[in-house]
Amino acid sequence: MKKINISNAKKRDAILGFEAKPTRAKVTQVLEDSSLKNNIKILKSTSKTDVGYLSSKYEDLEELSQAIISSEVDVDIEKSGKKIEGLKKIYVDRDNHIVFNVKMMEVIKDKDGVEQKREPLVPKPANISLENLPIAWSGKVMLKAMAIKKFAFTKHYQIRHINGLTYDFLYEMAKELDEKKGLMFVGGGAKGNEPLVVTTGGTPYRGFLEGRVDGDNYMLILHLTNLELKEFTK
Amino acid sequence: MAKPLIFKIGSNEYGLEPLKLERKKLYGSSEKVALDNNENECSAASLYPELSLLIPKGGTALGSVDEMGNWVEKSDMKYIYEDGSDASLVPSSFDAPIELTNTTTIDNYLEHNITSIYSMQGEENHPDFIKALQEQKDVFTFEFNYRAGYEGAPAFLIENEGEVFVLVGKKIEFEFIGLIDEGVLDNEAEEMDEEVEDEFDFSMM
């Protein structure tokens, strides 16, 4: 499990574990005899058979089309269809030459897709497992019925204890939240109000903590959202 | 106008057009761009080290093989349920009215990972429908299939200040944890494993 550092209402913090729980498909695609299939990745085109590259070698697309029909220039008979694994991600320039030293930029666009600005990319650092800066217990609880109307929760993590002490810590947290029947806002940073970034370079989300108890068992879920449910027209 | 979804409560039918809600259309977006030394934009590609091959974006495809490695066409496969029985084709939700007879608790709704959100247009023409949603203590739920397929997805109707949304998701298998169910922390370095896709909107709170 990955690490998360959370504090409770008494500002006691603890390093805990969290995990994304699976979603189970109700239906599976199998072969006719009900045996399982294996998914593979195959090669379709290379930099020498890609239409983008080929179009620079012919007068126009019409000529390229004829060449494809008559000579199948877009297929490398030795390599096309080959099963491939272990691909490495790289960057190439407009001439398909590998670029070894790229400068990463972040391009900000408005809701119409128009570029507003671009600046050097600075990956947002993860902030959920910082030793000296736990995710804060805000005490701000929103009733579940209201929270589900306002936000779409698109990521969820279950938080788990790693020893007896943290079991007590999390159980009490879950019990308090269960009694409040709400989702509690949690944030990162010194003031406890910054969005949560699970991994460095990842997307920031607003976090809400939900707790449930059932006898001596507990369930503590971190719901993440970055989308409000509000009026939207074309 | 796009084809509407028809919801049915009792004998009343309400047609609403679904509009896919995307974060970038609400808040804008951000994307990563790589520049070379001449400030020209580079494009992402893949390197296949075994053959020293440069593969452009879109240069690979997915396929299926059997245990012996023989290629299998999609038409030679079938869908089965967990018990092994053949799955039935689920029609598209646009083909017939969706009868809203099932509800679920808010807690159960929160156990779903939302994968698609539709803002329903035309709700101002159906005040009775909005009233029915507002008066519902639990959440209306139904099986949603955009196109006919073998597995529909659980969908939920949410109303907020007169706006109606359909949220489609997948059930997550959360579990109650006892003292003996303690976990073990990984011992791994952090990875940059997510694309920077959109800008965070501080106005949310």
B107-129 tens-digit pLDDT = 999 999 999 999 999 888 899 99
Angle at B162 between CA A146 and CA B130, to 5 degrees: 100
Task: Give the residue, A77 or B163, on which the prediction is more confident.
Answer: B163
Across the A/B interface, how many CB contacts are shorter than 8 Å? 337
Distance CA B24, CA A17 (A): 32
* A191 touching chain B per CB within 8 A: no
Q: Are A7 and B27 in contact (CB under 8 A)?
A: no
- Name which of A111, A155, A217 is nearest B178 (Cβ-Cβ): A217
Across the interface, whether the CB atoms of A102 and B34 are under 8 A apart is answered yes
Q: Pseudo-torsion of CA B49, B55, B61, B63, nearest 10°?
A: -20
Across the interface, whether the CB atoms of A156 and B172 are under 8 A apart is answered yes
Chain B residues with CB-CB distance to A22 below 8 A:
172-173
Chain B residues with CB-CB distance to A89 below 8 A:
44-47
Q: Are A210 and A147 in contact (CB under 8 A)?
A: no
Give the chain B residue nearest A155 (alpha carbons). Answer: B113
pLDDT in tens, B141-176: 999 999 999 989 999 999 999 999 999 999 999 999
Give the chain A residue nearest B66 (alpha carbons). Answer: A37
Identify from A228, A231, A233, A234 which residue to disrupt to test chain B contact, counting B C-beta atoms within 10 A and taking the largest count.
Answer: A228
Chain A residues with CB-CB distance to B139 below 8 A:
148
- Name which of B66, B192, B199 is nearest A200 (Cβ-Cβ): B192
- pTM score of the predicted model: 0.86
Q: Which amino acid is at B8?
A: K
pLDDT in tens, B5-59: 999 999 999 999 999 998 888 899 999 999 999 999 999 999 999 888 899 888 9
